[in-house]
Amino acid sequence: MISFSRIAAPLLTVTMLVSGLAVQAHEGATGVVKERMEAMEDVGKSMKALKAMITGEITYDADKVRMAAKTIAGHGGDNLTRLFPEGSTQHPTAALPAIWEDWQGFSRLAADLASHADALAKAAGNDRSMAESSMGGDMMSAAPAAPTPAELAGMAPDSAFMALGKVCGSCHKQFRKKKE
Protein backbone atom coordinates (compact mmCIF):
# COMPACT_ATOMS: atom_id res chain seq x y z
CA MET A 1 0.00 0.00 0.00
CA ILE A 2 1.29 3.44 -0.85
CA SER A 3 1.60 5.81 2.09
CA PHE A 4 -0.02 9.19 2.01
CA SER A 5 3.38 10.87 1.90
CA ARG A 6 4.37 8.95 -1.26
CA ILE A 7 1.28 10.37 -2.95
CA ALA A 8 1.15 13.81 -1.34
CA ALA A 9 4.80 14.78 -1.82
CA PRO A 10 4.82 14.47 -5.64
CA LEU A 11 1.42 16.17 -5.90
CA LEU A 12 2.60 19.02 -3.68
CA THR A 13 5.75 19.34 -5.80
CA VAL A 14 3.68 19.51 -8.98
CA THR A 15 1.34 22.08 -7.42
CA MET A 16 4.24 24.31 -6.41
CA LEU A 17 5.92 23.99 -9.80
CA VAL A 18 2.74 24.74 -11.72
CA SER A 19 1.74 27.69 -9.56
CA GLY A 20 5.25 29.11 -9.86
CA LEU A 21 5.10 29.03 -13.65
CA ALA A 22 2.16 31.40 -13.75
CA VAL A 23 3.93 33.90 -11.51
CA GLN A 24 7.11 34.13 -13.57
CA ALA A 25 6.81 37.08 -15.92
CA HIS A 26 7.67 36.72 -19.56
CA GLU A 27 8.06 40.47 -19.82
CA GLY A 28 11.24 41.31 -21.63
CA ALA A 29 11.85 37.78 -22.88
CA THR A 30 12.77 37.51 -26.55
CA GLY A 31 13.92 34.86 -28.97
CA VAL A 32 14.65 31.38 -27.69
CA VAL A 33 14.23 32.45 -24.05
CA LYS A 34 10.68 33.58 -24.76
CA GLU A 35 10.02 30.44 -26.79
CA ARG A 36 11.10 28.12 -23.97
CA MET A 37 9.18 30.14 -21.38
CA GLU A 38 6.06 29.74 -23.50
CA ALA A 39 6.74 26.00 -23.88
CA MET A 40 7.12 25.63 -20.12
CA GLU A 41 3.91 27.58 -19.62
CA ASP A 42 2.12 25.05 -21.89
CA VAL A 43 3.61 22.20 -19.85
CA GLY A 44 2.56 23.90 -16.61
CA LYS A 45 -1.01 24.42 -17.78
CA SER A 46 -1.20 20.78 -18.83
CA MET A 47 0.21 19.60 -15.49
CA LYS A 48 -2.30 21.78 -13.66
CA ALA A 49 -5.19 20.27 -15.65
CA LEU A 50 -3.86 16.76 -15.02
CA LYS A 51 -3.45 17.43 -11.30
CA ALA A 52 -7.05 18.65 -11.07
CA MET A 53 -8.30 15.39 -12.61
CA ILE A 54 -5.96 13.12 -10.65
CA THR A 55 -6.90 14.71 -7.32
CA GLY A 56 -10.63 14.72 -8.10
CA GLU A 57 -10.92 18.50 -8.19
CA ILE A 58 -12.61 18.00 -11.56
CA THR A 59 -14.05 14.88 -13.20
CA TYR A 60 -11.45 12.50 -14.58
CA ASP A 61 -11.58 12.28 -18.38
CA ALA A 62 -9.17 9.84 -20.02
CA ASP A 63 -9.33 11.69 -23.35
CA LYS A 64 -8.37 14.98 -21.69
CA VAL A 65 -5.57 13.22 -19.82
CA ARG A 66 -4.26 11.87 -23.14
CA MET A 67 -4.42 15.33 -24.75
CA ALA A 68 -2.63 17.04 -21.85
CA ALA A 69 0.00 14.30 -21.68
CA LYS A 70 0.61 14.53 -25.43
CA THR A 71 1.03 18.31 -25.11
CA ILE A 72 3.70 17.74 -22.47
CA ALA A 73 5.39 14.99 -24.50
CA GLY A 74 5.52 17.33 -27.50
CA HIS A 75 7.58 19.77 -25.45
CA GLY A 76 10.02 17.12 -24.19
CA GLY A 77 13.12 15.49 -25.60
CA ASP A 78 14.84 17.27 -28.47
CA ASN A 79 11.99 19.79 -28.66
CA LEU A 80 13.02 20.95 -25.20
CA THR A 81 16.80 20.76 -25.48
CA ARG A 82 16.83 22.77 -28.71
CA LEU A 83 15.38 25.67 -26.70
CA PHE A 84 18.53 25.79 -24.55
CA PRO A 85 21.41 26.74 -26.84
CA GLU A 86 24.59 27.46 -24.93
CA GLY A 87 24.76 31.05 -23.74
CA SER A 88 21.00 31.66 -23.67
CA THR A 89 21.03 32.95 -20.12
CA GLN A 90 19.80 36.49 -20.69
CA HIS A 91 17.16 37.98 -18.39
CA PRO A 92 14.44 36.98 -17.60
CA THR A 93 15.47 33.33 -17.94
CA ALA A 94 15.22 31.01 -14.96
CA ALA A 95 17.73 28.61 -16.56
CA LEU A 96 20.81 27.89 -14.48
CA PRO A 97 24.30 27.45 -15.97
CA ALA A 98 24.08 23.89 -14.57
CA ILE A 99 22.12 23.00 -17.73
CA TRP A 100 25.21 23.40 -19.89
CA GLU A 101 27.58 22.10 -17.21
CA ASP A 102 25.56 18.85 -17.06
CA TRP A 103 24.11 18.73 -20.56
CA GLN A 104 23.88 14.93 -20.44
CA GLY A 105 21.78 15.03 -17.25
CA PHE A 106 19.57 17.80 -18.61
CA SER A 107 19.09 15.94 -21.89
CA ARG A 108 18.19 12.75 -20.01
CA LEU A 109 15.51 14.59 -18.02
CA ALA A 110 14.18 16.21 -21.21
CA ALA A 111 13.92 12.73 -22.77
CA ASP A 112 12.27 11.42 -19.58
CA LEU A 113 9.72 14.24 -19.78
CA ALA A 114 8.67 13.06 -23.24
CA SER A 115 8.74 9.33 -22.44
CA HIS A 116 6.91 9.68 -19.11
CA ALA A 117 4.26 11.93 -20.66
CA ASP A 118 3.82 9.42 -23.50
CA ALA A 119 3.44 6.68 -20.88
CA LEU A 120 0.78 8.73 -19.08
CA ALA A 121 -1.11 9.15 -22.36
CA LYS A 122 -1.06 5.34 -22.76
CA ALA A 123 -2.07 4.79 -19.12
CA ALA A 124 -4.96 7.28 -19.25
CA GLY A 125 -7.61 4.60 -19.78
CA ASN A 126 -6.20 2.15 -17.23
CA ASP A 127 -8.06 1.25 -14.04
CA ARG A 128 -7.44 4.07 -11.58
CA SER A 129 -7.88 1.79 -8.56
CA MET A 130 -4.54 0.20 -9.51
CA ALA A 131 -2.84 3.28 -8.03
CA GLU A 132 -2.76 1.79 -4.53
CA SER A 133 -0.18 -0.81 -5.54
CA SER A 134 1.30 0.28 -8.83
CA MET A 135 4.28 2.27 -7.55
CA GLY A 136 5.68 -0.93 -6.00
CA GLY A 137 7.94 -1.77 -3.13
CA ASP A 138 7.25 -2.90 0.39
CA MET A 139 8.45 -1.48 3.66
CA MET A 140 11.19 -4.12 4.12
CA SER A 141 12.81 -3.97 0.69
CA ALA A 142 15.19 -1.47 -0.79
CA ALA A 143 13.65 1.42 -2.65
CA PRO A 144 12.26 0.14 -5.94
CA ALA A 145 13.94 1.15 -9.15
CA ALA A 146 12.17 3.90 -11.03
CA PRO A 147 9.60 2.36 -13.36
CA THR A 148 10.35 2.32 -17.06
CA PRO A 149 8.03 4.13 -19.49
CA ALA A 150 6.65 0.73 -20.56
CA GLU A 151 5.88 -0.12 -16.92
CA LEU A 152 4.30 3.31 -16.38
CA ALA A 153 2.03 2.79 -19.39
CA GLY A 154 0.63 -0.31 -17.67
CA MET A 155 0.02 1.44 -14.35
CA ALA A 156 -2.83 3.51 -13.06
CA PRO A 157 -2.77 6.99 -14.58
CA ASP A 158 -2.40 8.45 -11.08
CA SER A 159 0.93 6.61 -10.65
CA ALA A 160 2.12 7.59 -14.12
CA PHE A 161 1.26 11.22 -13.33
CA MET A 162 3.25 11.09 -10.08
CA ALA A 163 6.27 9.72 -11.96
CA LEU A 164 5.95 12.52 -14.52
CA GLY A 165 5.76 15.08 -11.71
CA LYS A 166 8.98 13.68 -10.24
CA VAL A 167 10.74 14.27 -13.58
CA CYS A 168 9.55 17.89 -13.61
CA GLY A 169 10.60 18.40 -9.99
CA SER A 170 14.02 16.86 -10.53
CA CYS A 171 14.74 19.05 -13.54
CA HIS A 172 13.57 22.22 -11.80
CA LYS A 173 15.57 21.41 -8.66
CA GLN A 174 18.80 20.96 -10.61
CA PHE A 175 18.45 23.36 -13.52
CA ARG A 176 16.07 26.21 -12.64
CA LYS A 177 16.67 29.27 -10.47
CA LYS A 178 14.78 29.24 -7.20
CA LYS A 179 11.89 31.65 -6.89
CA GLU A 180 12.68 34.78 -4.91
Residue pair 43/49 in contact (Cβ under 8 Å)? The answer is no
Residue type, 18: V
Known binder of ligand: residue 168?
yes
171 is in an annotated binding site: yes
Q: Residue 75, annotated ligand binder? A: no
Residue numbers in the known binding site are 168, 171-172
Residue numbers in the known binding site for heme c are 168, 171-172
